[in-house]
Amino acid sequence: MKPIKVGLLGLGTVGSGVVRIVENHQDDLQRRIGAPVVIEKVLVRDLNKARNIGVSPQKLTDDPWSIVNDESIDVIVEVMGGVGLAKECIMAALEQGKQVVTANKDLMALHGGEILHKAAENNCDVLYEASVAGGIPIIRALAEGLASDRITKMMGIVNGTTNYILTKMSKEGAEYSEVLKEAQALGYAEADPTSDVEGLDAARKMAILGTLGFRMQVDLDEVDVRGISKVTKEDILYGKRLGYEVKLLGIAECQDGGISISVQPTMVKQSHPLASVNGVFNAVYVYGEAVGETMFYGPGAGELPTATSIVADLVEVGKNLQFGVNGRYVFLPYKEKQLMSDERIISKYFLLLHVEDKAGVLAQITQTFAKHEVSLESVLQQPNPDNPSAEIIIITHDAVKSAMAEVMKDLSTMKDVVNEIKSVYRVEG
């Protein structure tokens, strides 16, 4: 029984998890694939570093090309991260007819289309389940489980760092800056947290999900991105009073062939399942024309959850190798892309305004909304002893995005009435 030989590019947290699962689940893997799986070579940065994972020193190398160009290796598993070298290695591997499994969201968001076309040209598999939401099988669900349906909307909590921060702010009434420092101390946030807290990490994942779910190529620069660094504990408190939780949501919608994709802090109704997704957990809520509403929930990162998705891809690649059908089912977007204009994007909005505390102010504000045909679902004015201005909270009915932009423009010019537009959030659920 000829073994399937794997070249592992990277032996960090996730790479170590892949080695552990392959070693500990070898019997199951052989039964599922019909052949043993052998990790033949492993790329590391430092050959002399002490490791608590049982990989023979003879299998370690600091030269990626000694793995990519090894004719005996069947599958390249890329978990080293980054874009430049990772792309070079993967493209070279595909040119040689090797199969590829990757967890690299940055690479797939930026160059996924190019990589998948190269795979199709060379009859190779490229699988990337672990690139989005760690151990949650959302990519396989979109590509296979929901392949017969037409996806109309996806909403996802796809970044554990920001979800941890917002959960702590909600439960403890803490400030953003305090919780960020705690997340960094615990290792949930990087020393430079920009990619997470400004929504860039989530945007890459939503570009991948949008491409799969809507069957059209979504480029990263087409994702409208806003992070959580401006979210205050007051925003969260006021949202809770009205029955909402603040979550950083990736939102992808498709209407009449047009799509819109965004990442933004969102007021989520507490009765919606996404509102109760806390800590570092991820979840993706999917709306299909036939299936209705489904939610995929689980750990979004970590050594073994992410490694589980990688090894699941490895099993699929291995089975395809046994049957000689690699590259037959490479997903290539086939629909013509049409981005929705702001005149077609509709949602509810939450606004917190600091206004002058005098008669007639509320009437002027409501007239501004009416002028642009934005109707109001609720208006709440309440005193704040820490704020000399009056505070008004408004939740709109469904409103056109372009109309809301005009409302915001007008409010910003009403200096004698509106002291500050403190917060604006989309409302879901």
Q: Amino acid identity of 353?
A: L
Whether residue 130 is found in the same domain as residue 200: no
Question: Burial code of 309-342, b = ≥16 C-beta within 10 A, e = fewer?
Answer: bbbbbbbbbbbbbeeeebbeebbebeeebeebee
Whether residue 281 is found in the same domain as residue 164: yes
What pLDDT is stored for residue 266 in this prediction? 98
Pairing of the two strands 292-299 and 281-288: antiparallel
What pLDDT is stored for residue 340 in this prediction? 97
What is d(CA 101, CA 42) in angstroms, rounded to the nearest whole number?
Answer: 14
Taking only the tens place, the pLDDT of each residue in 296-320 is 999 988 889 999 999 999 999 999 9
CATH number of 109's domain: 3.40.50.720
Whether residue 276 is found in the same domain as residue 413: no
Q: Which domain holds residue 165?
A: 138-299
Q: Amino acid identity of 105?
A: K
**Least confident among 193-207, 250-264, 371-385:** 371-385
**Least confident among 37-41, 44-48, 369-373:** 44-48
Residue 292 inside a domain? The answer is yes
Is 5 tagged catalytic? no
The count of structural domains within the chain is: 3
Residue 330 inside a domain? The answer is no
Residue 56 inside a domain? The answer is yes
Q: What is the mean pLDDT of residues 316-340?
A: 93
Q: What is the mean pLDDT of residues 342-356?
A: 96
What pLDDT is stored for residue 289 in this prediction? 96
Among 87, 105, 205, 422, the active-site one is 205
Whether residue 352 is found in the same domain as residue 318: no
**Least confident among 49-53, 56-60, 420-424:** 49-53
Residue 328 inside a domain? The answer is no
Q: Please, which residues have CB within 8 angstroms of residue 272's CB and are 6 or more apart in sequence?
A: 428, 429
* Tokens of residue 90, six digits: 């993967």
What is d(CA 6, CA 318) in angstroms, rounded to the nearest whole number?
Answer: 10
Read off the DSSP letter of residue 303. Answer: H
What pLDDT is stored for residue 302 in this prediction? 86
Residue 332 inside a domain? The answer is no
Q: Please, which residues have CB within 8 angstroms of residue 150's CB and are 6 or more apart in sequence?
A: 288, 289, 290
Whether residue 265 is found in the same domain as residue 165: yes
What pLDDT is stored for residue 389 in this prediction? 80
Q: How confident is the prediction for the chain on average, in pLDDT?
A: 95
CATH number of 373's domain: 3.30.70.260
Is residue 374 predicted with pLDDT exceeding 80?
A: yes
What pLDDT is stored for residue 48 in this prediction? 87
Q: Report yes or no on whether pTM surpasses 0.85.
A: yes
What pLDDT is stored for residue 191 in this prediction? 93
Give the pLDDT band (50/70/90) at residue 287. Answer: very high
CA atoms lying within 13 Å on the CB side of residue 27: 1
Is residue 244 predicted with pLDDT exceeding 90?
A: yes
Is residue 36 predicted with pLDDT exceeding 90?
A: yes
Whether residue 413 is found in the same domain as residue 370: yes
What is d(CA 85, CA 88) in angstroms, rounded to the nearest whole number?
Answer: 5
Q: What is the mean pLDDT of residues 314-340?
A: 93
What pLDDT is stored for residue 359 in this prediction? 86
What is the percent of the chain with per-residue pLDDT over 70, rounded to a whole number?
Answer: 100
What is d(CA 113, CA 119) in angstroms, rounded to the nearest whole number?
Answer: 10
Is residue 257 predicted with pLDDT exceeding 80?
A: yes
Taking only the tens place, the pLDDT of each residue in 382-423 is 776 777 788 999 999 999 999 999 999 999 999 999 999 999
What is d(CA 332, CA 367) in angstroms, rounded to the nearest whole number?
Answer: 49
- DSSP reduced 3-state for 81: coil
What pLDDT is stored for residue 39 in this prediction? 97
What pLDDT is stored for residue 168 in this prediction? 97
Whether residue 181 is found in the same domain as residue 168: yes
Residue 29 inside a domain? The answer is yes
Q: What is the mean pLDDT of residues 174-179?
A: 96
Whether residue 166 is found in the same domain as residue 236: yes
